[in-house]
A and B are shown apart, each in its own frame.
Chain A
Amino acid sequence: MTEPAMTEPPMTEPLLRTAGLTKHFKIGNTLSRRTLHAVDDVSLEIGEREIVALAGESGSGKSTIARLLAKLYTPTSGEIYLQGRPLSAIRSRADMLRYRGEVSMVFQDPFASINPVFRMSHGVLRGLKLHRPELSARQRQQEALRVFDAVGLTPAAEVLTRFPHELSGGQRQRVGFAQALALAPKLILADEPVSMLDVSIRIGLLNLMAQLRDNEGVSILYITHDIASARYVADRLIVMYAGQIAESGPVEDVLASPKHPYTQLLLSAVPDPRAPLTISAETDKGEPPRVIDPTPGCRFRWRCPVAIDECHQVTPPLRRLLPQHDAACHVAVSDAPTRAF
């Protein structure tokens, strides 16, 4: 099969774009067939050299989005475009391998994601052989050294000969980034990459992500439930709630004036020793919904203190309230801050 003719994408085309991305899971048995709406109508963009944080509670669909982008799941509907090329058009194994190299993944648990019986060189060399067949054995070795160096695993030659049990959690997660980087990706999907690590070494990994953006020119989708770390490292923030985007925008804009009541709740709950306590036990019990066969209406309405009648009837679309700053809320307006929490 010949490769489709590559047309240079227009300047406005972002690195990766999704349009109406939706993933439903069928649950239950033949007697009670129900549908879990894990991701519903998500349209997002990731630009070149950009770190986008995808934040939300567990069950909000953020990991499902990562798996859709990694082509581990097939979307129920909607499309993913990488530099303008639709993902559904991929037919050949070569195209598939190329896509997976261009969009590579870093996993949450560095203790489970590396094979314990092989040296560190094994995983990275295999990835290179599979996704970059043009390299010779010698070049692969050099590339392995280069990426280990780039993620701060020095001396790279020595670390490559180590076994996973000889490395700390932080070092293992760096190996995860090195393996992703070896595929010469345009985008790295990092699903909670630091949540299993100790606090004193998390910052090192976050700094590494910023370095990879600045030095290697990759974009990163940083999936997290930790808003503070999202603010630390990301350029843009997308807040998910119950499978939909609640709010998105430049990270500082969203944090400075959150438009969606859910974003406001999330921010008020972040423990901050430097700020006074603003939440009470009655504020919210913090129960995220399971989105099974949802009816129209805002999915946050049951927890929302400012909900109006319209919220119970009509699902709010994502609206542009400020430049680059969108929120899916009927009540939110561009200028006046609607502070629910």
Chain B
Amino acid sequence: MSSVPAEQHYRDARPSARPAGQILQVRDLSVEYLMNQGSVVAVDRVSFEVDPGEFIGIVGESGCGKSTLLFAIAQLLSPPAQISGGSVLFKGGNLVGMTAKQLNVIRWKDMSVVMQSAMNALNPVKSVGAQFKDAMRAHGVSSAADIASRSAQVLRMVGIDPVHLKSYPHQLSGGMRQRSMIAMAMLFTPDLVIMDEPTSALDVVAQRSLMVQIKELQRELGFAVIFVTHDMSLVSHFSDRLMVMYAGQVAELGATRQVFDSPLHPYSVGLLDAFPSIRGPRVPLTGIPGSPPDLARPPAGCRFAPRCPKVMDRCQQEPPELYTVDGTLVRCFLHAAGGAGHD
């Protein structure tokens, strides 16, 4: 590939230079795992949009389909998982059905992914700098000087001394590894960064500091973030909107503050009540009794009905749709009267 001037690669980072309109539209996306006994629907008709520069948090328990959803958006699913329906429109093009070659142009450049475990995501036998170089070479940056200066620049952005470009992953602490993964995702200043629990392996202090760092980079560079976590309180201060997933479906989707202050779905209420606080009075908590349903045999009605403290007869018989209440989408019959069905 011929050398392209570096300026063409690192787009103008100012938020005002971003394209207007939604950069990502996920429409009725479904993912199945093909098993011997039949298929398991792990993600069931999930729809949402991401605006430029938006931070959207996706929370849920293990097995709720949140990571599968991320992988489906990034087109990283491997058998037995496959997209069984829906579309992922990213900057106008449908990622579903794109060839590897078409996706290669987008990856790192327009959209990058930060994985849960940086220890596994980084190549243990290559220095951090060599891995940055790989990603840049793949996108046509061939000048060694360009590569070196940009690599040092992104590392400095996440608060790591550029001397660590020569370091191997095992020489870095867990927090520094995650930071260098994020630096790598910033190489081309993408429009969208997808993060799958990037802080879950870190201590609480390192976790907090990394979250603040991500938010500051986002403010500065204007990229959008989809952030998956099982820890609802972690994103409370950082996300614009919050999606609560349960058993492969969207349970609630709304402005973060609103979901925290007045959660609508009984599952969201239960999740919020499951976190003890370090402030205020010590109150007994109950958590949510029971466990999530087996997705190979989901309940006939609402999937949360077997654990729901407010279950009604209707919940056992028919599955609820998503209803709109003050701009928040909620999949619960308690709010069916409040608005028209959504999907």
Residues of A within 8 A of B (CB): 57-58, 168, 170, 198-204, 206-207, 225-229, 231-232, 252, 255, 265-275, 277, 279-281, 283-288
Q: Is the CB of B230 within 8 A of A281?
A: no
Residues of B within 8 A of A273 (CB): 232-233, 236-237, 260, 272, 275
A-B contact pairs, 21 of them (CB 8 A): A57-B204, A168-B291, A198-B61, A200-B270, A201-B291, A204-B289, A225-B204, A228-B276, A231-B278, A265-B205, A266-B204, A270-B278, A272-B233, A272-B236, A273-B233, A273-B236, A275-B279, A277-B237, A286-B205, A286-B207, A287-B206
Residues of B contacting A285 with CB < 8 Å? 159, 175, 206, 209
Shortest Cβ distance from A284 into chain B, in angstroms?
Answer: 6
Query: In the bound complex, what is the Cα–Cα distance between A272 and B288 (angstroms)?
Result: 20
State whether the Cβ of B79 lies closer than 8 Å to any Cβ in chain A.
Answer: no
Q: Does the CB pair B175–A286 fall under 8 Å? A: yes
Are A198 and B62 neighbours in the complex by a CB distance under 8 Å?
yes
**At the interface, yes or no: B212 with Cβ under 8 Å from chain A?**
yes
Interface residue? B51 (CB, 8 A): no
Chain A residues near B318: list those with CB within 8 A.
Answer: none
Q: Which of B61, B230, B231, B274 contacts A203 (CB 8 A)?
A: B274
A53 to chain B, nearest CB (A): 12
1/0 per residue B56-70: CB within 8 Å of A?
A: 000001100000000
**Per-residue contact bits, chain B 204-236, to A (CB 8 Å; 1 contact, 0 not):** 111111101100100000000000001111101
Which interface residue of A200, A225, A265 has the most chain B CB atoms within 10 A? A200
- Complex CA gap A270/B204 in Å reads 6
Given A228-B276, A271-B234, A272-B277; A200-B287 close (CB under 8 Å): yes
The interface residues of chain B lying within 8 Å CB-to-CB of A207 are 284-287
> Would you call A228 and B277 a contact (CB within 8 A)?
yes
Does the CB pair B173–A198 fall under 8 Å? no
Q: B288 contacts which chain A residues (CB < 8 A)?
A: 200-201
Tell me which residues across on chain A come within 8 A of B212, comparing CB atoms: 277, 279-281
Q: Specify which chain A residues have a CB less than 8 angstroms from the CB of B216 in the assembled complex.
A: 281
The interface residues of chain B lying within 8 Å CB-to-CB of A288 are 203
Interface mask (B243-261 → A, CB under 8 Å = 1, otherwise 0): 0000000000000000010
With the chains together, A289 CA to B234 CA distance in Å?
24
Known: A202-B274, A271-B208. 15 other contacts (CB 8 A): A57-B204, A58-B203, A200-B287, A201-B288, A203-B287, A204-B287, A231-B276, A269-B204, A269-B207, A273-B236, A277-B212, A281-B212, A284-B205, A285-B159, A287-B176
Q: List the A side residues contacting B325 at CB < 8 Å.
A: none
A49 CA to B284 CA, complexed, in Å: 19
Which among A200, A226, A283 is the interface contact of B271 at CB below 8 angstroms? A200
Q: Are B205 and A266 in contact (CB under 8 A)?
A: yes
Please give, as numbers and ranges, the residues of chain B lying within 8 Å of A277 by CB-CB distance.
212, 237
A-B pairs, 8 with minimum CB distance: A286-B206, A203-B287, A273-B236, A232-B276, A286-B205, A200-B288, A269-B208, A198-B61
A267 contacts B206, CB within 8 Å? no
With A and B bound together, what is the CA distance between A227 and B236 in angstroms? 18
CA–CA, A92 and B327, complex, Å: 70
For the complex formed, measure the closest distance between the CB of B309 and the CB atoms of chain A, giving whole angstroms.
12
Distance in Å from the Cβ of A194 to the closest Cβ of chain B?
A: 10
A199, B230: Cβ atoms under 8 Å? yes
Contact A170 B291 (CB under 8 A): yes
Which residues of B277-328 are within 8 A (CB) of A? 277-280, 282, 284-289, 291
B130 on interface, CB distance cutoff 8 Å:
no
Contact call B231/A199, Cβ cutoff below 8 A: yes
Cβ–Cβ contact B208 & A227, under 8 A? no
Which of B173, B202, B209, B231 contacts A284 (CB under 8 A)? B209
In the complex where A198-B62, A227-B204, A287-B175 touch, is A232 in contact with B291 (Cβ < 8 A)?
no
The residue in B216, B231, B260, B279 that gathers the most chain A C-beta atoms within 10 A of its C-beta is B279
Minimum C-beta distance from A24 to chain B (A): 22
Inter-chain contacts of A275 with B (CB < 8 A): 279
* Minimum CB–CB distance for A270 against chain B, Å: 5
Contact B213 A274 (CB under 8 A): no
- Report yes or no: B203 in contact with A286, Cβ–Cβ below 8 A: yes
B232–A199 touching, CB < 8 Å: yes
B164 CB, min distance to chain A CBs, angstroms: 13
Flag if B213 contacts A228 (CB, 8 Å). Answer: no
A286-B208 contact, Cβ under 8 Å, with A198-B62, A201-B287, A203-B287: yes
Contact present for A198 and B209 (CB under 8 Å) = no
Q: How far is the CA of A85 from the CA of B204 in the complex (A)?
A: 37
Q: Which residues of the other chain, A, contact B280 by a CB distance below 8 angstroms? A: 274
B83-114: CB near A (< 8 Å → 1, else 0) gives: 00000000000000000000000000000000
Cβ–Cβ < 8 Å partners of B289 in chain A: 204
In whole angstroms, what is the CA distance A207 to B274 when docked?
12
Q: Smallest Cβ distance from A70 to chain B, in angstroms?
A: 24
Bound together, the chains give a CA A58 to CA B173 distance in angstroms of 11
